[in-house]
Chain A
């Protein structure tokens, strides 16, 4: 009957019109249900793709960083008896100043130094101490310089000039003469767009003959201003298409990067000093207040330490409890009471476990604050009910004939459970465990109370060292004002997802081994 699903055959069975109508309605209902089912799946896959896509897009800039390869004069630390005492601040400062000998004055030099990360000296010192004979050291750029080079800060429009131009120079200042009407109009439009004084209106930079002229006034149709970079000495005329007008619509005062800094950065990129590289800092270091020095490794280690403790406590305890309750305990009022309570415990909000951790583990037992083993214990308490329930259901699904057969050939009840019942239930227990562990991995609320929501720079070396975990790190980065932390929190979310997938993968492997052993 199933393969004869066409109207003619049914028509012979359902003869009355009312019956045929009912049949058609039943088919319509099924088609509707199928459509809604498919639509629901399509919708959720779409949302998931949207969510993941936006996170990946936002995270991508954080995986690379721009580093500057300068010629560092490392003779001082090489000759010093203790290389740690050398003045690396001065080494970094001087290396950058050597590239821009024309930059003079305290304010300008400070502006120049701000291109590099404030942690650049520490970063250089660490590299040098790791391999004193090495060369080609690089230091990271500051977060704002890096964001600019990635096109995420201080965006500009560039207009390639259609006419020729002549430039004049007198001291610091310069002017453009014989600019043709279309180019002049482009400059004028941007210049008079918003009015106001310098710093409050869009910046117009003229890139001509290797120099950069910042337009400050527009007298008698002659754009004039200050040379941020000097043009070449020879000649004074540029052909059409040989010079460009660059307009930054965001005024300089509202940017974290000044026009000068942009010109310097562009020069460093043009001569190959600054290059993007894989952001190894992000993957190998702990928290930092400087976005360019902030890393996820401290939180990964903290999460791993806490979860090892959670697994070591919750899995044997949970499975043991389930086995006892399901296979050995006599059914009665007492065991029903315990079971109801375990079910209730699974629904308790996680913050309650944190309060318990604070009140009992920290205040009564005096365990370490912020330590991953305390976090692990709290998370284990939270995960236990989930594992017990999953294990009980899994044990219940093992057919009774297995137990009877084992007992019939003379196995003791303990042997029956451990040799025959438990291995069969193991795959489902693993699934329950991994669900519980995944929840533990994503928790911040219970850890808040026991001090794991903290700024911890040093990477934890053991179970009692202060540590934080991945979701806490994401939460904290999302809260910092610097824009670069936003990209890093997206990248950290990806790391958390990878961690989760790795955990799931490990569970799948173990499951597959149990299933193979059974067959």
Chain B
């Protein structure tokens, strides 16, 4: 019995030693690996580069966290030092307010445009192909439409209500939730782009909440599974998921353009967005392997026309742009938001 009391005392002692070591290690913190935060859209690409970078030897594999673009920039702009990330992946450009926060904390971001991501409208391979325009998508999904001069609930229930040429099936669209960057880009490039003159931009950016548009969560795989189970439904998600599931899904034409790799790359396909990462120039040289990681990402073997990132679904930049951003990243040219 006495022995048991002693073991308990030992456990308590171990506990205190543990917390003590934790406290002391925290004081003398250094960092062996590059740390990357940011968008979950770029996560598949950044992790692929990080893994190959780690395999090539010399440096430990960078740690990549999917925090979302906004959350990532918030961490990134908090300051300099080993406790802040070195790179943030962004599925949109940095905002002026975020850049101001960075500058105020002594962080000078360097902008590197990585490529494009198409946003596709797709459904199960067994369904018939649609030929949609952005106006039709807008009419199917907007929450309120002008009815007899006043905004009222969207009356369209069937695709054929919008255009008799479209099939006579119920409108059912699975898409990303409001927190997602994919949703943000979709709203900007479809809903606002197709916004008629007699409507406010704010009303145009609201999607239906009467069960026609279904929030399918951040997990695009879930949308893919739901689409294969329900051939009448359409899904909205990133091109890489269509690319990886091309045996199960078909992508529909938008404004007459099919969502293919080439059409997104040359800008013909109307719904696509640019992907970026921002590098903390103060950390280059201070964190081992940071410059080398950026060099590995901006190598044509990674982001080039035949690079391994294209296999992961990245739509690359044209060669001249790649050259420019590679040079900018090497010379640490600070980002400027002037167009």
Docked Cα-Cα span, A309 to B22, in Å, equals 11
Q: Is the CB of A369 within 8 A of B312?
A: no
Binds B, one of A5-13, A18-26, A394-402, A478-486: A478-486
Q: Does A191 contact B (CB under 8 A)?
A: no
A289 and B15 contact, CB distance less than 8 A = no
Q: Is the CB of B247 within 8 A of A478?
A: no
Which residues does chain A contribute within 8 Å of B113, judged by CB atoms?
Answer: none
| A residues in contact with B2, CB < 8 Å | 419
For residue B1, which residues in chain A have a CB less than 8 angstroms away from its CB?
418-419, 423
When the two chains form their complex, are residues A370 and B63 in contact, meaning their CB atoms are under 8 A apart?
Answer: yes
Interface residues as binary, A350-367 with B (CB distance below 8 Å gives 1, 0 otherwise): 000000000000100111
Inter-chain contacts of B125 with A (CB < 8 A): 254
CB <8 Å contact, B51 and A289: yes
CB contacts (< 8 Å) of B8 on chain A: these are 316, 418
Could you say which residues of chain A place their CB within 8 Å of the CB of B35? 369
Are B83 and A255 within 8 A (Cβ)?
no
Tell me whether B61 is interfacial, beta carbon within 8 Å: yes
Interface flags for A452-476 (1: CB within 8 Å of B; 0: not) read 0111111000011010000000001
B60 touching A458, Cβ below 8 Å: yes
Chain B contacts with A in 274-302, Cβ cutoff 8 A: none
Which chain B residue has the least Cβ–Cβ distance from A286?
B61
Q: Mark A271-301, 1 if CB is under 8 A from B, else 0.
A: 0000000000000000111100000000000
Cβ-defined contact, B18 with A309, below 8 A? yes
- Counting CB contacts under 8 A, is A103 at the interface? no
Asked if B44 is an interface residue, CB under 8 A from chain A, the answer is yes
A481 to chain B, nearest CB (A): 4
In the complex, the answer to whether A418 meets B11 with C-beta atoms within 8 Å is no
Known A-B contacts A289-B47, A464-B25; the reply to A315 vs B219 at CB < 8 A is no
Which residues on B sit within 8 Å (CB–CB) of A288?
Answer: 51
Query: Can you list, as one digit per residue, whether each of B169-204 has a CB less than 8 Å from chain A (1) or not (0)?
Result: 000000000000000000000000000000000000
Over the window 310-336 of chain B, the binary record of Cβ atoms lying under 8 Å from chain A Cβ atoms (1 yes, 0 no) is: 001100000000000000000000000
* CB–CB A289/B312 < 8 A: yes
* Chain B positions within 8 Å of A118 at CB level: 308
Cα separation A367 to B24 with both chains bound (whole Å): 9
B165 sits at the interface (CB 8 A):
no
B66 and A368 contacting across the interface, CB-CB below 8 Å: no
- Smallest CB gap from B13: residue in A: A316
Q: Shortest CB–CB separation between residue A105 and chain B, in angstroms?
A: 15
B18 CB → nearest A CB, Å? 6
Contact pick for A481, options B23, B33, B245, CB 8 Å: B245
Q: Quick check: A368 and B11 within 8 Å, CB to CB? A: no
B54 and A418 contact, CB distance less than 8 A: no
Chain A CB within 8 A of B151 CB = no
- Report the interface size class on chain A: 35 or more
A150 at interface (Cβ–Cβ under 8 A)? no
Determine if B219 and A479 form an interchain contact, defined as CB atoms under 8 angstroms apart.
yes
Within 8 A of B (CB), among A295-323: 309, 312-313, 315-317, 320
How far does the Cβ of B280 sit from chain A's closest Cβ, in whole Å? 15
Residues of A within 8 A of B61 (CB): 456-458
Task: Closest A residue to B313 by CB, please name it.
Answer: A481
Q: Given A454-B63, A480-B44, A481-B313 in contact, is the A418-B4 Cβ separation under 8 Å?
A: yes
In the complex formed, the residue of A with least CB distance to B249 is A254
Asked whether, in the complex, the Cβ of B29 is within 8 Å of the Cβ of A454, the reply is no
A237 contacts partner chain B, Cβ-Cβ < 8 Å: no
B:51-72 near A, CB below 8 Å: 51, 54-55, 57, 60-61, 63-66
Q: Is the CB of A255 within 8 A of B247?
A: yes
**Which residues, 1 to 56 on B, are CB-close (under 8 Å) to A?**
1-2, 4-5, 8, 11-12, 14-15, 18-19, 22-23, 25-27, 29, 33, 35, 40, 43-44, 46-48, 50-51, 54-55
The reply on A84 being an interface residue by CB < 8 A is yes
Interface centre among A118, A256, A480 (most CB of B within 10 A): A480
Query: Which of B65, B247, B313 meets A254, CB within 8 Å?
Result: B247
Q: B311 CB to closest chain A CB, in angstroms?
A: 8
A250 to B249, CA, bound (A): 11
Q: In the complex, what distance in Å separates the CA atom of A26 from the CA atom of B257? A: 72
Within 8 A of B (CB), among A357-396: 362, 365-370, 373-374, 377
Q: Are A256 and B65 in contact (CB under 8 A)?
A: no
CB < 8 Å: which of A84, A253, A481 contacts B44?
A481
Q: Are B54 and A256 closer than 8 Å at their CB atoms? A: no
Does the CB pair A313–B219 fall under 8 Å?
no
- Flag whether B221 is at the interface (Cβ < 8 A): yes
Q: Which residue of A lies closest to B17 (CB)?
A: A312
CB distance from A146 to the nearest CB of B (A): 15
Q: Is B11's CB under 8 angstroms from A366's CB?
A: no
> Would you call B15 and A316 a contact (CB within 8 A)?
yes
- Docked CA distance A85–B50 (Å): 20
Are A486 and B221 touching (Cβ within 8 A)? yes
Contact A254 B43 (CB under 8 A): no
Give B269 Cβ to nearest chain A Cβ, in Å. Answer: 18
Q: Say whether A495 faces chain B, with CB atoms less than 8 Å apart.
A: no
- A446: Cβ under 8 A from any B Cβ: no
Contact A316:B63 (CB < 8 A) given known A288-B51, A289-B48, A366-B29:
no
| Residue B130 is within 8 A (CB to CB) of chain A in the complex | no
The answer for the CA separation of A478 and B225 in the assembled complex, in Å, is: 12
When distances are taken between beta carbons in the complex, the residues of chain A under 8 Å from B19 are 313
Interface string of A45-72 (1 = CB under 8 A from B): 0000000000000000000000000000
B240 at interface, CB cutoff 8 A: yes
Q: How far is the CA of A84 from the CA of B57 in the complex (A)?
A: 9
CA distance A153 to B248 in the complex (A): 11
A366 touches B5 (CB 8 A): no
**B247 engages A458 (CB within 8 Å):** no
- List chain A residues, Cβ under 8 A from B86: none
Q: Which residue of B lies closest to A251 (CB)?
A: B247
User: Which chain B residues border A368 with CB–CB below 8 Å?
Assistant: 25-26, 29
Residues of B within 8 A of A423 (CB): 1, 4
CA distance A483 to B12 in the complex (A): 47
Closest to B83 in A: A366
Which residues of chain B are within 8 angstroms of A482 by Cβ–Cβ distance?
244
A317: chain B residues within 8 A (beta carbon): 15
CB contacts (< 8 Å) of A466 on chain B: these are 33, 63
Q: Can you list, as one digit per residue, whether each of B78-101 has a CB less than 8 Å from chain A (1) or not (0)? A: 000001000000000000000000
- In the assembled complex, the Cα of A316 lies from the Cα of B16 at a distance in Å of 11
Contact B64 A455 (CB under 8 A): yes
Q: How many whole Å from B49's CB to the nearest CB in chain A?
A: 9
A458 touches B54 (CB 8 A): yes
- Give residues of chain B (227-248) contacting chain A, Cβ–Cβ below 8 Å: 240-241, 243-247
A269 within 8 A of B: no
State in angstroms the CA–CA spacing of A309 and B202 once bound together.
Answer: 50
Query: Sorted from nearest, which 4 A-B pairs have the closest CB atoms?
Result: A481-B244, A457-B61, A454-B65, A455-B64
Q: List 23 A-B contacts (CB under 8 A).
A: A118-B308, A154-B247, A253-B246, A256-B246, A256-B247, A289-B47, A312-B11, A367-B26, A374-B22, A418-B1, A453-B65, A454-B64, A454-B65, A455-B43, A455-B46, A457-B51, A458-B54, A458-B61, A464-B22, A466-B33, A478-B219, A479-B219, A481-B220
Q: 5 more A-B contacts (CB under 8 A) besides A313-B18, A316-B12?
A: A317-B15, A366-B83, A453-B66, A455-B51, A483-B244
